Amino acid sequence: MPQTLASSTLPPEPPTLTNCDKERIHEINSIQSGGFLLALTPDWIIERASANCGEFLNQKLEEILGANLTALIMPEAVHAIRNRLSSLYRQDVIERIFAIVLQEGGPGFDLAVHTSGDLILLEAELSEESGELNAGSMVRSMIDHVQHQHHVSDLTHEAVRLVQALTGYDRVMIYKFHPDGSGEVIAERCRPSMEPFLGLRYPATDIPQQARALLIRNPIRTLLDIDSPPSPIVSTKTFADALTDLSMSSLRSHSPIHLEYLRNMGVAATMTISLLKNGALWGLIACHHMTARTIGYERRTTAEVFGQVLALLIDRCEREELITFEASTRQITADLLASVALAGVATKDVAQLANQLVNIVPCDGTAFCIDGSVTLKGSTPSLEEFEVLRSFLDGVSASRVYSSNEIESVCPSANSFKDRAAGMLAIPISTIPRDYLVFFRKETASTVKWAGDPTKTAEVLGPGEVRISPRKSFKAWQETLHGKSTQWTDAELRAAGALQITVLEVVLRLISATEAERKAASQTQDLLIAELNHRVRNILGLIRGLISQTRINAKDMDTFASVLGDRVHALARAHDQITAKNWGPGSFQTLIATEAEAYLGPACNTIHMSGPPVLLIPQAFSTLALVIHELITNAAKYGAFCGEGGHVDITWRIGPQGELIGNWTEIGGPPVTAPSHRGFGSTIIEASIPHELGGESAITFLATGVKVSFSVPSQFVVLEEQPINAATKTADTPQVGSLQGHVLLVEDNLIIALDAEAMLLSLGAERVLVASNVKDALAILDREKPSFALLDVNLGNQNSFPIADRLFEMEVPFIFATGYGSGINYPSDQNARPFITKPYTKDSIAKALGGIEPFIAS
């Protein structure tokens, strides 16, 4: 039954901006007005709601509070919410529902459902009206664009481009946290008129500790409109004094301090995606817009999933660099062990080992301390100063590696030698304290470019009340740091861990020649090798949720990425062929030819096909695409295609029940024997057709080559009219003049736009200006004149003819693109324009360019 509002739920006074770290930002008790929130008891009674919910549900707030949710929304919506609730297997999990209608005849909403204590929180925003978003396909394409990058800089540079294309924000940055908590912009994509932030540092205080904790729990956060007043959360009298924990809320209002910070930057809307590594914040994807901006839950979810995969790929890149460094370290230490064993160095010469270790850990000086004897070399503290430092190390580094790039900050007595040794890396080399190998580094004065003066100004408001203000300027502000050495890297710290074991082994070898000690040293080395193998397996498991069977059979990360990529591309090519036929049946011959050309290139004419023209419905087409892909890759690795002179005969016929009966026969390859282990590829070949289509498949390993027989049931088969008897052929790429200057691309589909942009750049364009609608395209034309334009005819509920008219007036050559083939009614003055049919290829664009080459090339 509807209840009266409690008086204590009236909008609170704005909080005073005091200490950032003390703000209870998860209990701010209001949400952004771009959506509404309902807090439900387990029996679906609405105990709390945002004050604006009536505007969305067409009822008074007093009628909503205390009511049962089932009385407010349609049964279908209630059912969908119940289903999502059943998926909330733990706290801090959010389930989303896209484009669901809550009330008869009402608009579609995107919902987010999670629990907060004993309450169920339901948040809703109006769905995007720009059409359906193929989130799965979009994420797949975005991942495909970045997964082959092996350096963090290349990976993040491509990632910001993709995220900006997906979300449309004016500025997209990737922000990496340093060990001191400060952050640095390591990749950026912004509008040309904006001042770049790339390379700027932001102090740790810009993101308070409680905000960092929430970024780990809730990895995506948006601000829709900085100037839109928040909507307070009101309660029934039963919960009048309780605050709602909004930690996992998508719509939770932002801290006034944070809003002031953004206003100082000139930002009106934001989206932040957390990049987590081992459960900790590695960095952020930060999106800024200069005006209010709202993107739907589905697009946000797509960005969130991409951010999760990006974090895994960043981890992979860092691990690959680490493994390379560790492999070098292991080789040097192995050589060191071998030289010690062969030379028979005496115990008194053990200090000379430090000289050989400088190649692993770059330094300016070393100290080797064993059995009370100290040997110093290079730029180091004096013996007396080192004794004080060793006492400090006994208290903090008895058994573990210890590092500091500012010794004075942890050991004040180091002030006396900071000009000779500002940083140290200490490695304990025995189970008894006071034995160490210490690397020293001199002071390195460094210049840091901050985004504005990092010092927060304090303003006294009254007795005992001080207000900390965000800085007003974000222009580059330089600071020179003294008293610190170069930071010890993660790779160097891991190398130190390996060195600890190695030096321990050397010491054992030098102080005792017993067989037991030699055996212990060998076991230690085995542990090192096992650790390396363990880390390699961890790298192979970085993206283990995608296709677990592929991960199980991968030998290394490159193989995993290649095999997984090839299999995904095989399905993608099958998908392209199906969509080209408007999800009608696809040609079996074309499927084989496409896979052969994609994998074999010019050598694809070594596949000979013979059989009646056959079409496969989409379900069978995708299954056969994977089977044919595995057959071709296996033949290229082990069979007929791995040497010269080999070929494959593929024959097929229609059986008495209308089924497709096919045979794959490899001829002229190396001798074949049955494998001792059946991999995932063999499983696809043998099991896919029986399991997914109810057909048959068998593989035979003959001495002359592999033979595979398969049968596809008749319900998946459609006959064509003309016979087929040919080897596959490759198409010649048309030769045309190069593009020049800036090119305008108008395309409302993100995936197609990304691929088309890459194609236009490869054809010579200096820069591609991308617009997804008529308004943005005309705005670009107001600013500059491109040398050429590629226009998608259909832009949702618009078309590109107004853009074509403007280009015609500007005497800019252009071509149309459409997914509807020739069935488009062009304006009479545009009828003669060349057009290309989706999906784009570089060849089709090049061929169309041939008709207007005189206008675009010199």
On whether both 769 and 848 belong to a single domain, the answer is yes
pLDDT of residue 11: 42
- Please indicate whether residue 232 or residue 722 has the higher confidence score (pLDDT): 232
Model pLDDT, residue 2: 40
For residue 630, the domain's CATH number is 3.30.565.10
Same domain, 420 and 366: yes
Mean pLDDT of 335-353: 56
Q: Pick the range with the lowest mean pLDDT from 351-355, 452-456, 543-547.
A: 543-547
User: Which of 478, 506, 536 delimits the end of a domain?
Assistant: 536
Least confident of 15-24, 217-226, 744-753: 15-24
Q: Is the pLDDT at 781 greater than 90, yes or no? A: yes
451-477 as b/e: b if 16+ CB within 10 A: bbebeeeeeeeeeeeeeeebbeebeeb
CA separation for the pair 841, 598 (Å, rounded)? 13
Instruction: Point out the domain boundary residue: 511, 536, 561.
Output: 536
Higher pLDDT, 332 or 455: 332
Residue 19 confidence (pLDDT) above 70:
no
Q: What is the DSSP string of 243-270?
A: PP--TT-SSBPPPHHHHHHHHHHT--EE
What range does the domain containing 769 cover? Answer: 742-856
How much of the chain, in percent, has pLDDT values that exceed 90? Answer: 20
Q: What is the pLDDT of residue 137?
A: 83
Do 648 and 756 belong together in one domain?
no
Can you tell me which residue has the tokens 């499983």?
A: 683
Residue type present at position 464: G
Same domain, 161 and 309: yes
Residue 541 in any domain: the answer is no
**Residue 137 placed within a domain:** no
pLDDT at 283: 93
* Best mean pLDDT range from 542-546, 601-605, 703-707: 703-707
Query: Which of 140-149, 151-160, 430-439, 511-520 reaches the highest mean pLDDT?
Result: 151-160
Both 292 and 256 in a single domain? yes
Same domain for 275 and 360? Answer: no
pLDDT at 371 over 80: no
**Cα torsion angle, 531, 537, 540, 544, sign:** negative
Average the pLDDT over each of 65-79, 216-230, 405-419, 592-606 and give the range with the smallest value.
592-606
Residue 292 pLDDT > 80: yes
Q: Classify residue 542: in a domain, yes or no.
A: no
> Tell me, what CATH number does 154's domain have?
3.30.450.40
Structure tokens at 480: 């020179």
Q: Is pLDDT larger for residue 96 or for residue 829?
A: 96
The answer to whether residue 322 sits within a structural domain is no
Q: Are residues 12 and 53 in the same domain?
A: yes
The CA distance from 233 to 30, in Å, is 5
Per-residue confidence band for 3, with pLDDT thresholds at 50, 70 and 90: very low
> Greater confidence, 536 or 815?
815
C-alpha to C-alpha distance for 832 and 813, rounded to whole angstroms: 12
Residue 228 counted as domain residue: no
- The confidence score (pLDDT) of residue 509 equals 61
Look at residues 727, 762, 784 and tell me which one is the last residue of a structural domain.
727
- pLDDT of amino acid 351: 53
Q: What is the mean pLDDT of the chain?
A: 77
Say which CATH number the domain at 334 has. Answer: 3.30.450.270
Most confident of 201-210, 262-271, 730-739: 262-271
Residue with tokens 């010199």: 858
> Does 120 share its domain with 148?
no
CA atoms of 715 and 619, how far apart (whole Å): 11
Of residues 244 and 334, which shows the higher confidence score? 244
367 lies in the same domain as 490: yes
Mean pLDDT of 586-599: 78
CA distance 543 to 317: 13
Assess if residue 1 is contained within a domain. Answer: no
Q: Are the C-beta atoms of residues 186 and 156 closer than 8 Å to each other?
A: yes
Q: Between the ranges 290-294, 433-437, 797-801, where is the mean pLDDT highest?
A: 290-294
CATH number at residue 825: 3.40.50.2300
Residue 136 covered by a domain: no
Rounded mean pLDDT, 91-112: 88
Min mean pLDDT across 42-51, 112-121, 307-316, 473-482 is at 473-482
List pLDDT tens digits, range 525-548: 665 454 344 333 333 332 333 344
Same domain flag for 588 and 696: yes
Tokens of residue 690, six digits: 């029986």
- Total number of domains in the chain: 5
- Cα–Cα distance between 815 and 133 in angstroms, integer? 26
310 and 343 both lie in a single domain = no
* Both tokens assigned to 198: 């790339």
pLDDT band, residue 129 (cuts 50/70/90) = low
Q: Looking at the domain assignment, is residue 608 inside a domain?
A: yes
Return the beta strands (E) in 199-253 as ranges.
Answer: 201-202, 220-223, 231-235
**Long-range CB pairs of 539-544, under 8 A, 24+ apart, other chains included:** 539/316, 539/319, 539/320, 539/323, 542/312, 542/313, 542/315, 542/316, 542/319, 543/309, 543/312, 543/313, 543/316
Averaged pLDDT for residues 599-624: 78
> Which tens digits make up the pLDDT trace of 238-279?
655 567 888 888 898 888 888 888 888 889 999 999 999 988
Kindly state whether residues 487 and 555 are assigned to the same domain.
no
Higher pLDDT, 641 or 53: 53
CATH of the domain at 78: 3.30.450.20
